Structure 1
């Protein structure tokens, strides 16, 4: 016979949920979640940027996507200039009033055919409505 009632400790989540019998036991968890969300949002970069370690004690900085693999270290940890990086096969997201300076490398004759896919996306609002 099948039992349609859920088991007391069954959960679709891969971790057990805490058993709470009153509101006071949820309060510390709720405060921790709110604090985590607030701190995470205050240092979030735009969709047209990526986050990396800044110089000195400046913490994380937001670097425009076209600074990735441009030959200059913009990040203290070198995250924007990894070994064998390429400006090709990437998606660039728009910002109103922003232009990208992307240098596509000249292909070497012994490495033909050379394909370099660049995707530009303007998703509306402050990411722009059109790519020119």
Structure 2
């Protein structure tokens, strides 16, 4: 008889603060002081827990985007604009999907049977 194994999938909260600055610096290959500078100019906002910076998965992904853009030659002012625009695009795409779901739940005008009136 063959036993089936159930594997649990860990659901990661992207906003949960979990990494210290040294770990994040190694993950994204930046000096911790550079990450602190990015924080000081508002590009990144880690959580503070007992006077310690803790970074989430979302923070790490954002730092990776910053690294990618700066390696392409974009200055930090441009990085800020690009990141803001990407966030706006993501929000608009989510809104489009929400509206599509609403429209999908309601019958469209073209799917209603035509009514013919005889005079």
Same fold (TM over 0.5): no
Identify, as 1 or 2, the structure richer in strand: 1
Identify, as 1 or 2, the structure richer in helix: 2
Classify the TM-score, shorter chain. Answer: under 0.3
